[in-house]
A and B are shown apart, each in its own frame.
Chain A
Amino acid sequence: MAGKRKSGKKPAAGGGRAGGYCPLGDAVRAGIRQVIDAQGRLTGDLPEPDLDRDTLIRLYEMMVLVRAIDERGWVLQRSGRVEFWIPHKGLEAVHIAATMAFARNDWIFLGYRHPGALLLRGAALVQLFAQFFGRRDEPFKGRRLPTLMGDRRLNVVPMTTQVGSYIPHACGAAWGAKIKGDDTRFLTFFGDGATSRGEFHSALNFAGIFKPPVVFICENNGWAVTTPASAQTASRTFAQKGDAYAVRNLRVDGNDPLAVYAAAREARDLAAKEAPSLIEAVTYRLGFHTSSDNPDLYREPEEVEEWAAWDPLIRTCKYLERKGYWGKRQEADLWTRCTRDIDAAVEQAEAMPLPDPASMFDDTFEQMTWMLEEQKAALLGDLERCS
């Protein structure tokens, strides 16, 4: 089941027409809430959210910037300047629209494909690139895998790398806020693969009982490394897993930022009224799982092509054009601006100092254990010998 999926096979539940890979063309039948179609037309079952021109443009500009970051990150990794890369191409709409639907002081527990959340909160581009380059003066002091980003000053919690492990953290933090009686809401992103972890179920069970102000967004991007969503669960949808725990749930078109925004906005409002939500955002990872992956070994190029036709950037751009908010010139300017800003951030971040190797032992235990002390001494000895 987990093997290579051949074209012509029975389409996944809720699958669309064409090759049967992408259900977004037949969203209603698949129970996927939608605002716009592939051409940016208002054809969906969800009403168009009430967003002004500036906000819509900001949304789209962020999606483009985030796409441009992915393209640059990939090149930097392949040319040996960044150690590792986790692509997010095709997933921009989910985290950007959802972050915009939440208030500035709400807490976000990130996955690893969500740079837009930080940028929307005001993090500078150079801070992100300093993280990618593992430089000393970024919030994690250059210690984390590139793209495992966050910033506590911005109420954005970085991912703990164990898949799904942080879902209960988000839930528990939300419960804490509820007990304290403050009005903060909590948002967390995780993948389809994470729903097979016990932590997902613990957190949803807890949420169903104690009703903390939390919104769970399951970014169903079709794959968990090499495992297709069809082999991840025998349930019809990931959303319906909420039913087991009496957690309100729905499926939205994750490549439609308007649908994501509408769903996240409503969920945020309900979160304060004892109704946490599980939103399954149906989307697709157009890129590699990580820079260490090779998707040619497990998925069909037709599948990628079919989903690429539902690229959230293209759809949003067309929607904005239809509204008369956007045109070819703005589009070209935007890309130029993004490239220029990224160039500057790359140059600045790469010139920043690397962390002192000995500092990797800091911030672990309040008092360093004998084992760490030995390791530190051994490392310093090695470095001494090598220099």
Chain B
Amino acid sequence: MIYEFILPDIGEGISEARLINWSVKAGDRIKEGEEVATISTDKVDVELPSPRSGTIAELCWEPGDTIKVGSVFLRIETRGEPAADKTAGPATTAKAKAKPKAKEKPRRPGPSATGQILAAPSTRKYARELGVALSDVSGSGPRGRILRGDVEAAAQSRGGAARGEAADGVGLAMAERMSQSVHVLAHSTINFEARADGFCTLLDKLAPKAEARGLRLSPTALFAKCAAAALSEHPRLNATIDEDQCRLVLHKDVNLGIALASERGLLVPVVRRVNRISLFALAEQLAAAIGRGRDGALRPGDMRGGTFTLSNTGGLERATITSTRPIINAPQAAILWVSRITDQVRVDNGAPGVGAMVSCSLSFDHRFIDGAGALAFVNDMADHIESPGQALAAD
């Protein structure tokens, strides 16, 4: 039985060695451990011992030759060497078989050869955050390695989240949360309008009272109270998703995330127990959260624990926005966008007229909330906006 002595990597990362001389010749009998040759690597001159006992069948190289690690170095006839026959066990045989194959192709094939994707863990994480599939990205690094910039470029060409600028913490968090939400949740959106005359009247009535307490009453605060009232009637929308258990977790209190555009990007501070606090208390907390958001003083805890998100872009709009497709702030299950209140031509009691209108868009996770449930919420939400007095009943 012929045993092939494969040139080993004797020095951790050595790829080749030069044969200095043989200590044996074909036909010599040799014992395991006896020296067969001296080789030279970039680290050291090494005397190679024989891995097996037997008779030298073939010396495969000449002194001076440079030999690749993994090549057959010499052949030993091990017949009549009982120990050797047995020790050439299954694992060793497998190895000897595998090695020459490795010789036929480069030791570390590039990505094209194996389809293997080379990318650092941080790059992989980044791609995940931006929702970029690495298999779609061509790498510009050594041997096709995908670099961070490649991922950014891919995201941009896809029109994705990357803006060609280094994303900071807030930007990254947003990128990650948004792409995850879009990829996991079954977004469904209902766009609707509501008459806002009563809403504006109430705001105007309450504004001086608020001012007397040193508060500025914003439409957002009143929208928040309306939402809290509607959510109390439709608890499936005041919920978070437990992805592991694949279920909806309903919440008694309404902890409202308020989407806030800041210089540092989108922030969503949470105002707690909106269903239980007065409009003025809410206005106060809202103002504080907005202030902290603008100053960059929001702590992560201020943005955790939301059960529903309200996004009012009224302060940013000049164009007339009629609908959006808001992305749910996972693990929450729904989000409501409301527009600036504008005067619109509308039909009142069968006759054309002009009145205050607000556009709204509700996105909900259709895996857990069905269309009828979402519509029921929308109906009541619209009612509360049209006559917001009831939403303040608990005040």
Contact = CB atoms under 8 A, between A and B. Distances in A.
A294 B47 CA distance: 13
Contacts of A290: 12
Given A291-B11, A371-B124, A347 B5 contact: no
Contacts of B121: 371
B49 to A, nearest CB: 5
Given A78-B48, A80-B5, A382-B116, A292 B11 contact: yes
Contact of B49 (A75, A353, A374): A75
B10 A78 contact: yes
A385 B91 CA distance: 20
Given A78-B46, A382-B116, A385-B115, A374 B124 contact: yes
Contact of A347 (B8, B10, B86): B86
Nearest to B8: A80
A358 interface: no
18 contacts: A72-B33, A75-B49, A78-B8, A78-B48, A79-B5, A79-B48, A79-B50, A81-B51, A81-B92, A133-B91, A290-B12, A291-B10, A291-B12, A292-B12, A293-B44, A350-B91, A371-B124, A381-B115
Contacts of B13: 292
A354 interface: yes
Interface in B1-41: 5-13, 32-33
Q: Which of B48, B91, B116 has the most CB of A within 10 A?
A: B91
Interface string B66-90: 0000000000000000010011011
Contacts of A374: 124
A347 B90 CA distance: 12
Q: Which of A80, A354, A382, A385 has the most CB of B within 10 A?
A: A80
B114 interface: yes
A224 B44 CA distance: 19
B7 A80 contact: yes
Given A291-B12, A292-B43, A75 B87 contact: no
A225 interface: no
Nearest to B43: A294
A80 B87 contact: no
Given A78-B49, A350-B87, 6 more contacts: A75-B49, A78-B46, A79-B48, A80-B6, A80-B10, A353-B91
B117 interface: yes
Contacts of A79: 5, 8, 32-33, 48-51
B128 interface: yes
A84 B89 contact: no
Interface of A: 72, 75-81, 84, 133, 135, 290-294, 296, 343, 346-347, 350-354, 370-371, 374, 378, 381-382, 385-386
Contact of B86 (A77, A351, A371, A386): A351
Contacts of B44: 293-294, 296
Give the 7 A-B CB pairs with smallest separation, nearest first: A80-B8, A79-B51, A351-B89, A294-B44, A292-B12, A75-B33, A75-B49
Interface residues of B, number: 36
A291 B51 CA distance: 16
Given A80-B8, A291-B11, A351 B124 contact: no
Contacts of A385: 114-115
A354 B95 CA distance: 11
Contacts of B33: 72, 75, 79
Nearest to B36: A79
Contacts of B49: 75, 78-79
B47 A78 contact: yes
Given A78-B47, A80-B7, A374-B124, A351 B114 contact: no
Contacts of B8: 77-80
Nearest to B124: A371
B243 to A, nearest CB: 13
A293 B43 CA distance: 8
Contacts of B32: 75, 79
A80 B10 CA distance: 7
A319 B86 CA distance: 41
Contacts of B94: 354
B74 to A, nearest CB: 11
A351 B94 CA distance: 11
B89 A350 contact: yes
